[in-house]
């Protein structure tokens, strides 16, 4: 502000170059294109406001209310949050969601990267491989789950069990057993989602300068050394983003447990989002919407904090 002189109402400002202009006012704002900007922005603001921000605000309000959306809501303070924490299923859901996220991280996170690197090495029919990899993403999720339900048929004549029989392995219970249900869901979820991530990695791999590989080759690097010392460091920015997206996505897993097992067997696949669904729609007639929104907010807060911490921790790595 040292270069601008402070003026009283109605005075003109003197800019460093000596020119004078009118002080900011609604008229200058309109003349400067502010109104036009606002009009162009308005559809976006309305859409976001109506479909995104309003529901968020309403959810926050509902989390401290008891309501069935028909009779007038009553304020209940933090009771809904207390109810959620006291529910024994809450901790089961947290454990199950954590397990899903962990298994998806172990098996589902590296797989697309490995496939993308392998596919980038393919000389012929690269498009075909990309299409094949992306195909599961195109299949509607419900159809995919129904398809995999056939695969997971626990009888000896089930698709996977028939294949296992060919190699002398006994039939497996798949989703019909508390121990194997969650890994089975992760397997399907990985199949369904890997294609999207592969495409991202393939795009990122095209951005890696070929000279780096040439230099590594001149230095006598093996293929693994090239991946470790060239590919992965070059992709680290993308890898960091896909990692947090994967964590957020798997923390909100709903479709697979809902359609495959409805949380069973014996609550072995009840996840946080499914518990939210149960609160709102399944058990309490008229809906325990208060507890459902309370748990939603807890999950959102957790993920927001996690993302913040994650980006703080990985900032330096990402920048370098």
Partner 1 sequence: MKSPIKVLLASAGALATVITFAGCSASPGAASNEKVSITVASLIPGSSKEAFAAFNARVKEFEKANPNITLKTEEYQWTGPTFSTQLAGGTLPDVFNVPFTDSKTLLQNGQLADITSEVKALPYASKFNKNVLSVAEDSSGKIYGLPYGPYAMGLSYNRAIFEKAGLDPNKPPTTWDEIRADAKIISEKVPGVAGYMQMTSKNTGGWELATTTYARGGRLETTDSSGKTTVKTDNPQTKAALQFLKDVRWTDNSAGSNFLLDWSGMNQAFGAGQVAMYPSGSDVLTSLVQTDNVSPKDYGLTTLPLTGTGAGVLSGGNVAAVSVKSTAAQKAAAVKWIDFYYIQQLVDKTQTVAAAKVLAASNQPVGVPTLPVFDQATYDQQQQWIKSEVNIPLSNVAPFTSKIFSSPIVPEPNKNTQELYGALDAVVQAVLTDKNADVDTLLKGVDSQIQALVDAGN
Residue number with CB closer to partner 1 (98 or 287): 287
Q: Is 141 in the site for partner 1 (CB under 8 A)?
A: no
Q: Is 183 in the site for partner 1 (CB under 8 A)?
A: no
In whole angstroms, the minimum distance from the beta carbon of 167 to partner 1 comes to: 20
Pairing of strands 13-14, 20-21: antiparallel
3-state SS record for 286-319? CCCHHHHHHHHHHHHHHHHHHHHHHHHHHHHHHH
Binding mask 100-139 for partner 1 (x = CB under 8 A): ----------------------------------------
The H or E element that residue 74 is part of is strand 74-75
Please spell the DSSP secondary structure of 229-272, one letter per residue: IIIHHHHHHHHHHHHHHHHHHHHT--HHIIIIITT-STTTT--H
In whole angstroms, the minimum distance from the beta carbon of 286 to partner 1 comes to: 4
Cβ atoms 136, 145 nearer than 8 A: no
Q: Is 265 in the site for partner 1 (CB under 8 A)?
A: yes
> Which residues, numbered 73-102, are part of the site for partner 1 (CB under 8 A)?
86, 88
User: How far is it, in rounded angstroms, from Cα 217 to Cα 225?
Assistant: 10
Q: Is 163 in the site for partner 1 (CB under 8 A)?
A: no
- Window contacting partner 1 (CB under 8 A); options: 11-19, 66-74, 107-115, 230-238: 66-74
Q: Is 38 in the site for partner 1 (CB under 8 A)?
A: yes
Residue number with CB closer to partner 1 (49 or 207): 49
Q: Is 35 in the site for partner 1 (CB under 8 A)?
A: yes
Cβ atoms 63, 297 nearer than 8 A: yes
Cβ atoms 119, 202 nearer than 8 A: yes
- Window contacting partner 1 (CB under 8 A); options: 12-20, 64-72, 125-133, 140-148: 64-72
Angle, helices 232-251 vs 110-121, to 10°: value is 140
Q: Is 221 in the site for partner 1 (CB under 8 A)?
A: no
Q: Is 30 in the site for partner 1 (CB under 8 A)?
A: yes
Candidates 287, 300, 303, 314; binder of partner 1 (CB under 8 A) is 287
Candidates 162, 284, 307, 314; binder of partner 1 (CB under 8 A) is 284
- Residues near partner 1 (CB under 8 A) are 26-27, 29-30, 34-35, 38, 42, 68-71, 86, 88, 153-155, 157-158, 173, 175-178, 261-262, 264-267, 277-278, 281-288
């Amino acid at each position: 502000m040292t270069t601008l002189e402070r003026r009283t109402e109605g005075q003109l400002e003197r800019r460093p170059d000596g020119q004078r202009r009118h002080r900011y006012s609604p008229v200058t704002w309109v003349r400067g294109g502010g109104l036009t900007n606002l009009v162009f922005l308005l559809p976006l603001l309305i859409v976001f406001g109506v479909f995104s921000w309003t529901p968020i605000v309403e959810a926050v309000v509902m989390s401290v209310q008891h309501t069935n959306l028909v009779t007038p809501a009553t304020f209940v303070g933090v009771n809904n949050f207390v109810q959620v924490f006291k529910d024994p299923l809450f901790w089961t859901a947290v454990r199950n969601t954590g397990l899903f996220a962990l298994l998806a991280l172990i098996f589902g996170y590296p797989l697309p990267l490995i496939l993308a690197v392998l596919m980038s090495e393919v000389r012929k029919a690269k498009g075909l491989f990309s299409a094949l990899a992306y195909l599961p993403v195109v299949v509607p999720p419900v159809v995919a789950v129904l398809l995999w339900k056939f695969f997971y048929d626990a009888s000896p004549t089930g698709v996977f069990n028939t294949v296992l029989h060919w190699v002398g392995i006994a039939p497996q219970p798949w989703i019909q057993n508390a121990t194997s249900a969650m890994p089975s869901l992760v397997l399907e979820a990985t199949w369904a989602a890997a294609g999207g991530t592969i495409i991202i990695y393939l795009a990122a791999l095209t951005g890696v300068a070929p000279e780096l590989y040439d230099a590594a080759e001149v230095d006598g690097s093996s293929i693994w050394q090239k991946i470790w010392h060239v590919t992965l460091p070059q992709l680290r920015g993308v890898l960091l983003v896909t990692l947090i997206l994967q964590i957020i996505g798997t923390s909100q897993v709903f479709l697979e447990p809902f359609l495959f097992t409805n949380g069973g067997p014996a609550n072995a696949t009840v996840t946080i989002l499914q518990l939210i669904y149960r609160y709102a729609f399944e058990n309490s007639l008229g809906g325990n919407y208060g507890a459902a929104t309370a748990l939603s907010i807890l999950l959102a807060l957790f993920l927001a904090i996690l993302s913040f911490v994650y980006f703080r921790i990985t900032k330096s790595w990402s920048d370098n």
